[in-house]
Structures are given as C-alpha cells and as structure tokens.
Amino acid sequence: NQEPGGENLMLVAFLERARREDHRDSAENSSQEAQLKSELYRLRENLENTIHELEQTNEELRISNESAESANEELQSANEELETSREELESLNEELLTTNAELEHKIEALDRANNHTHNLMRSTHLPVIFLDSDGRITWFSDEMTGLISLQESDKGQSVHRLQNVFPELDWYA
C-alpha cells in the first residue's frame, strides 16, 4: 500500500501456525514417501520376478522349439523315406501288373494247348497215360481203362505198379 507520503510499504508477518502446518505436511510427505518407497520396492521385486519368469519361459520355449524343430526334421526325413518307398512300390506294382499280364497270356495259351490235347486224345481213341517227371500218373484216356483197370484215384500213383501188366516194357529207360 502507499502511505500519504508516497512511500510503498509492505507488511510481512510470520505465523507460528504456518510452521506447524509445514511440519504436518512434512510428516505427511514422509509417510507418503515411505509408502511410495515401499510400493516402488514391491513393484521392483514383482518386475524382477516377472523378468525371471519370462526368462525361464523363454528358455523353456527355446528348448521346446529346438525339440519341435528336431522332430520336424525327423518327420521330414521319414516322409522322404516313405515317398521313396511309395515310388518303389509303384514301380514294383507296374512290374507285377506286366508280369501278371504275361502270365495270363501264358495260362490262356496252356489252356488252349491242354484243350487241344484232350480233344485229340478223345477223338483218336488211343490208350494213353501221361506221367510227371517222377513217373506218377497225371492223366489217362478212357481207352486206357479198357486195357487195364485204372480209376481216378490212381492219379498221383507211381506207374511202376503197372509193371506186372506190361512186363515187356523197359520201366527204367
């Protein structure tokens, strides 16, 4: 304010009460600071624990990933082996189909030859016996049964049992 003499005056007053409030504020600030420090410490511990857990999880994931990569490589190798085996089987299957077709043609030719032989034997009315390489009876004509007593059950039997019927034959030639 200005005095009538033109001087500016100022009043400064110090109150005790203000210091008490500052002291109270200081105590509150200390309490808040302690709480904040405690909270900060707790948060740091939580952060460290979280970082540690994250590092452990990352290590477990890395190990798991390596294991998965190894398993994947093994599966790829097995898949390649299976593919090779499949190709080999396809090739073998083609060979078998070709061989089967050839065998079917041979069987058809043998059936025709067999039918021709049977027709020839039946139409010529000759007594005939067919033997295998061990001298066992495999087939005989009806006319042969008129010469000697032969039955279907004689097929597979040795022809040497007929030695007494045809003694003039050289049975061991």
Rounded to an integer, what distance in angstroms lies between the CA atom of residue 150 and that of residue 162? 10
Tell me which of 16-30, 73-87, 117-131 is least confident: 16-30
Residue 96's CB: how many other CB atoms inside 10 A? 10
Q: What are phi and psi of 138, to 5 degrees?
A: -110, -30
Has this prediction a pTM greater than 0.75? no
| Position with higher pLDDT, 26 vs 78 | 78
| Position with higher pLDDT, 18 vs 147 | 147
Owner of token pair 């016996």? 129
Q: Which tokens hold the place of 100? A: 């089967």
Q: Report H helices in 15-155.
A: 16-124, 142-147
Read off the amino acid at residue 161.
R
Q: Which tokens hold the place of 130? A: 């067919």
pLDDT at 145: 87
Of 155, 147, 150, give the one whose Cα is nearest residue 125: 147
